Amino acid sequence: MSRTSSESKSTRRVRVLAAAVLTGLVVAGTPAAAATSLDRTTNVVRQSPDEGLSAELAEIRDELKRNHRPDAVQKSLDELVAKDTFPAALAAVQDRKGRTRHYTAGVADLTTKAKVPVDGQVRVASNTKMFTSVTVLQLVGEGKVSLDEPIETYLPKVVRGKGIDGGKITVRQLLQHTSGLPEYVRYLPGVFSARNASYSPQDLLKLAFAREASFAPGTSWEYSNTNYVLAGLLIEKVTGRPLAEAITDRIIKPIGLRHTYWPAKGDATIRGRHPQGYGSEKPGGKLVDITDQDPSRAWAAGQLIATPSDLNRFMSALVDGKLLKPAQLAAMKHTVKATGMPAGWEYGLGLVKMPLTCGGVAWGHGGDIDGYETRNGVTEGGRAATVAVTALPATRDTMQHVIDAMDTALCSKR
């Protein structure tokens, strides 16, 4: 269990200055033995005529206090492992100046007991929806897509079924989960019996459209991954490029997400340093390593692999207006009540607004896939945090504890 930090220049300067000042106190006529006396050292500093030096010493004292303060983020991750029995937890917390602290707890591999890699790659699941939504909204900003146009305009004769009509479902309703389209994931074989099964987007839609619509478009809210499979097909149709290429060239490369990638269909592994992901076939059952699995079952709704710090970088770029024009960012942040999500959470266009215990809100999403869960957000003030655990929560309480760890990371003063 550990914490590391990307040390800032100012922190290094304080440490160097501290060494220099402490050395100077001894050399400047004070006997070495006296340097161990708090009273004598205090007298030397008090008699110094250099007011600048006094200010620097005050800064050093403040830095030392911060460094010795109990770290609430590390404690929350330790509890996720010790009390909630997640094999591992890892987090990245980015402060308002862009400096990042990394945290780990538990073990990366239950068999070998290997250490959790700092900022390791994980399957980020439904955080992919933010990337898919941003790509659609970029096309809106380019005048190639209209949010209030029926999906039928772009994907004719694709959206069909009992109570399902693509001419009555808008692009906005897809991105906001107000379309009423049934959830295809409910009808997928479990990962334990079909971890290597490959699916096309059409396969996934076929599972959904064999069922009746949940409600008339625009009359309610229900989370459905089916919406984002259609959003992915929309992107491919309008850009004329594979979804992976569109997201990579429009988002991943421009903002420098060096450890984020779209695994190809059939690429069941995680390329970089990563903790193993675990799951059980029934609640409370024995944990089994399910790190390797074909990612195509998630596609535009959840296929990406990334690190916690890359997710922070993405969310920061998003709220800073580096990925979308103001009108499209405002549309993305226009939320509706989200039944079934934690209390107070509201859903925009692939973006969740979450109230914080310290006041204000965070913007993010989160993701759940067999083996991994992530919770993340960025505040309007620029603080960002991503927490990942290496198994899905077995109960609502454990799920809430992961959310609480994210809240702690975003509300911590450190």
Cβ neighbours around 413 below 10 Å, total: 8
**Token couple for 124:** 């980020």
Helix (H) or strand (E) holding 406: helix 396-411
Cα(270)–Cα(153) distance, rounded to whole angstroms? 37
Among 265, 324, 352, 12, which residue's Cα sits nearest to residue 139?
A: 324
Angle at 141 between CA 135 and CA 142, to 5 degrees: 90
Cα(117)–Cα(119) distance, rounded to whole angstroms? 6
Chain position carrying tokens 């927490």: 387
48 a catalytic residue:
no
Cα(294)–Cα(198) distance, rounded to whole angstroms? 6
Give Dmax (Cα) for the chain: 90
Do 129 and 365 touch, CB atoms closer than 8 A?
A: yes
Buried-state track 205-220, b at ≥16 Cβ within 10 A, e below 16: bebbbebebbeebeee
**Token couple for 230:** 């259609």
3-state secondary structure at position 407: helix
Pairing of strands 288-289, 305-306: unpaired
3-state secondary structure at position 265: coil
Side-chain-side CA neighbours of 84 within 13 Å: the count stands at 29
Q: Which residues does residue 336 pair with via DSSP β-bridges, in sequence order?
A: 347
Cα(325)–Cα(321) distance, rounded to whole angstroms? 7
Do 165 and 159 touch, CB atoms closer than 8 A?
A: yes
Phi, psi of 177 (to 5 degrees): 60, 40
Among 275, 290, 265, which residue's Cα sits nearest to residue 121?
A: 275
Among 286, 326, 306, 408, which residue's Cα sits nearest to residue 366?
A: 306
Residue in 2, 6, 37, 126 annotated catalytic: 126
Q: Which residues does residue 353 pair with via DSSP β-bridges, in sequence order?
A: 346, 363
Which residues form the catalytic set?
126
